[in-house]
Amino acid sequence: MSGIGIRLQDYLKLFKYMVPLSKNLSRFALKLDNMGKHLHENVNDMISSAESISESSERLTVKSFNHRTNLNSLMNIIKLNEFV
């Protein structure tokens, strides 16, 4: 019996290859999911680090401004003392 349709033997051959392929795809999807979770954790860690660096930078900026202000005040006192 030959015809255009697929024979039962063809379905069995196809099924024989599809089951391992399906298992491999399932394992691959699980690995991708785990990689995605690790990537998400790494991104969160990087965001936390960036926030910490930003806060440190802000504190340093404030300290720098305070030191510059103190230095300017000191220079003004020295200039005033030169006139006295």
Which residue type sits at 70? N
| Higher local confidence (pLDDT), 8 or 23 | 23
Rounded to an integer, what distance in angstroms lies between the CA atom of residue 29 and that of residue 17? 18
Q: What DSSP character marks residue 7?
A: P
- State both tokens at 53: 């660096």
Q: At 2, is the pLDDT very low, low, confident or very high (cuts 50, 70, 90)?
A: low
For residue 11, the surrounding DSSP H or E stretch is helix 8-83
Q: How far is the CA of 7 from the CAs of 1, 3, 25, 47, in angstroms?
A: 9, 9, 26, 58
Domains in the chain: boundaries? 1-83
Instruction: For residue range 11-64, list pLDDT tens digits in order.
Output: 788 888 888 888 999 999 999 999 999 999 999 999 999 999 999 999 999 899
